[in-house]
């Protein structure tokens, strides 16, 4: 009896893993298949002559390193800046009470309702007017804004569950606000901060809308996949390059997840329960 149940479990698990990994595997094999052999029916899942030529082509002609650099600058800065200001905001919301504050909090949370498409065009025109279009600061402000509601939500809820007694004791001992923040509050919030940083990092990496519409010169990885080189003619982009670019994006993500799986899982779950 026990065996059947165990087999059943492994079968289900296998199905799930297959559904997820099989397409990724196909993308990978496509990326290492030489262009001439790429389109065969049925699909050759073990390429006869694996080659890294697509990847090399990308590195040489797509300025991959430059894009990685831009992506890191934008995403890294956004995550760091937003985390800092959201820690401050979370403290403000959690440790202080007033009608005005509640309204402000509701505003931030409900602003999640506003889809990017609704604000896109005027925001675009506005960014251009104040010369923030296609600039690092401009992009960083937009990215930061997009992750503020989530960060505030998680950090504030976490902080609300921590009694203020330690801080009050410190205050009595003469510690200033800044000292309390830095030496007590932030260390206490470390798990939530870690979660928020990791999840926001992924969210920002995956953001396609913002770099697409609010930048020209600055190119990040997520939009790179719609800007691949044209080989041979002005009218065609090849699957071998697309798949290689896809894996360039996917691979670091997988590594990232493998390292941070625990934090991500606990973060997502913690966020949901507090809802």
Which of 2, 96, 173, 174 contacts another protein by CB under 8 A?
A: 96
Please give the size of the binding site for another protein, defined by CB under 8 A: 127
Class of residue 27 by CB neighbours under 10 A (exposed 0-12, middle 13-18, buried 19+): middle
Smallest gap from residue 44 Cβ to another protein (A): 10
Q: Compare residues 50 and 165 and give the one whose CB is closer to another protein.
A: 165
Q: Does 126 bind another protein (CB under 8 A)?
A: yes
Q: Does 255 bind another protein (CB under 8 A)?
A: no
How many angstroms separate the CA atoms of 242 and 251, rounded?
14
Strand residues in 70-169 grouped as ranges (E): none
How many angstroms separate the CA atoms of 222 and 245, rounded?
10
User: Between residue 97 and residue 116, which ones bind another protein under the rule CB under 8 A?
Assistant: 97-98, 100-101, 104, 107-108, 110-111, 113-116
Smallest gap from residue 233 Cβ to another protein (A): 4
The answer to whether the beta carbons of residues 198 and 263 sit under 8 Å apart is: yes
Which of 6, 52, 56, 169 contacts another protein by CB under 8 A?
A: 6
- What SS3 state is found at 250? helix
User: Between residue 21 and residue 80, which ones bind another protein under the rule CB under 8 A?
Assistant: 21-24, 26-27, 35-36, 38-43, 60-62, 73, 77, 80
Peptide bond into 42 cis (omega under 30): yes
DSSP summary character for residue 42: S
User: Between residue 145 and residue 204, which ones bind another protein under the rule CB under 8 A?
Assistant: 145, 148-149, 152, 177, 182, 186-187, 202
How many angstroms separate the CA atoms of 79 and 200, rounded?
6
Class of residue 235 by CB neighbours under 10 A (exposed 0-12, middle 13-18, buried 19+): exposed
Which of 13, 52, 56, 169 contacts another protein by CB under 8 A?
A: 13
Q: Compare residues 169 and 230 and give the one whose CB is closer to another protein.
A: 230
């Amino acid at each position: 009896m026990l065996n059947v149940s165990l087999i059943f479990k492994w079968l289900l698990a296998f199905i799930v893993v297959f559904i997820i990994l099989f397409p990724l595997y196909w993308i990978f094999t496509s990326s290492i298949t030489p262009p001439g052999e790429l389109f065969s029916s049925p699909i050759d899942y073990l390429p006869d002559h694996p080659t890294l030529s697509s990847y090399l082509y990308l590195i040489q002609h797509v300025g991959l390193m430059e894009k990685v650099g831009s992506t890191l600058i934008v995403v890294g800065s956004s995550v760091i800046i937003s985390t800092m200001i959201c820690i401050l905001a979370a403290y403000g919301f959690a440790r202080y009470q007033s009608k005005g504050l509640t309204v402000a909090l509701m505003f931030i949370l409900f602003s999640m309702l506003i889809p990017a498409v609704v604000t896109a065009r005027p925001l675009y025109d506005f960014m251009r007017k104040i010369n923030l279009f296609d600039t690092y600061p401009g992009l960083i402000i937009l990215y930061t804004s997009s992750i503020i509601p989530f960060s505030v939500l998680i950090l504030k809820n976490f902080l609300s569950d921590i009694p203020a007694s330690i801080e009050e004791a410190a205050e009595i001992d003469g510690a200033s606000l800044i000292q309390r923040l830095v030496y007590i509050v932030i260390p206490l919030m470390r798990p939530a901060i870690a979660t928020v940083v990791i999840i926001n990092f992924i969210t920002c990496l995956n953001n396609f809308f913002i770099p697409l519409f609010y930048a020209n010169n600055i190119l990040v990885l997520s939009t790179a996949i719609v800007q691949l080189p044209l080989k041979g003619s002005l009218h065609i982009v090849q699957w071998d390059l697309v798949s290689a670019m896809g894996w360039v994006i996917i691979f670091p993500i997988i590594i990232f997840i493998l390292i941070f799986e625990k934090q991500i899982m606990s973060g997502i779950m913690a966020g949901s329960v507090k809802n």
